[in-house]
Amino acid sequence: MGYDYQQQLEFNFEGQFLGFVGPAHKSDYLPKYLRVRVLSEEMQIKLPKALRLAGGLNLQPGERILVTGRGKFNRYARELKLKAAQIVPLPNSLPDNLPDNLPNSLPDNLLNSLVDDPSDSLGATLTNGCEILNGLVAAAPVNSAKSKIKVLVCQKSGCLKKGGRGLCEALQQALCQRNLDQHVTIKPTGCLKCCSSAPNLVMMPGNRRYKEVRPKTLGQIADSIAQSLGMS
C-alpha cells in the first residue's frame, strides 16, 4: 500500500476580499482565483467553475466575506491548495486603504501553522483564520525551511507500479535513522523522464540521479546525502 502524502481538509474563512485572479485562459473572461486577507495573512483560493458561472461574485475590494470549501495539504512539499465551495458577503464597512502589492502564493505563516497531530485524525478543519482544529496526520515530519538538499521522487503511475509506492516514507525513515531529516526535503514530483529505469530519485543541487531504487538501496542513498552535507 502506497504512502498517501496528501491530507484532505475543510476550511471556513472569514476575511477581507482583495480581488480576483484570472482568467484561467486568455479567451476566458471568468476569474479563476479569489484573493482574501484573513487576519494578517493573504491567500489565494481557487474558484470552481460552477461558482465562476454563478454570476454572484459581485464583490468589491475591502468587503468582508465568508469562504467555505475544501483543500489539500502536501506534507512533503508543504503546499496547501484551497478550493472554495461557497462565498457569502458579510455586512461591513470598506477600509480606508488596501495593499498595493498582493502576493500570488499562499502565505508561509499559514503553512507553518499546519502542525502534526498525534490523534491521527482523518481530516482537518480550518477556522478563525489560521487556527487548526484536529490537525493533520503526523505521518511525515515537517522539513526545515533551511534544508540544504532536495530529493525529487517520481510519483507517475509507471514508477509507482514498478516499486515506487511508499518510497517517500521509506527514504524519510532512512534519513531519520541518520539524523538527516532536518537537512533534506523530500518532494514528490511528476515524471523524471527515466520511466524505463523506474523508480527514480533525483538529488538537488547537482541533479544526481538514482535509478531502479529499491528499499535495500535507500541506506546507501542516505549515506551519500550525508556525505554531500559533510555529515558522514
Is pLDDT above 60 for 222?
yes
Considering the chain, what percentage of its residues have pLDDT values greater than 90?
0
Angle between helix 167-177 and helix 218-228 axes, rounded to 10 deg: 50
Amino acid at 199: P
pLDDT in tens, 135-170: 333 333 444 444 478 888 887 777 777 877 788 888
pLDDT in tens, 29-64: 678 888 888 877 788 899 888 777 655 567 888 888
Q: How far is CA 151 from CA 110, 126, 204, 220, in A?
A: 24, 30, 6, 14
- What is the set of domains in the chain, with CATH numbers? 6-137 (2.40.50.140), 149-228 (3.40.30.10)
Position 155 scores a pLDDT of 78
Cell numbers of 157, please?
503511475
Q: What region does 97 belong to: left with phi over 0, alpha with psi -120 to 50, or beta?
A: beta
Most confident of 26-35, 45-54, 169-178, 191-200: 169-178
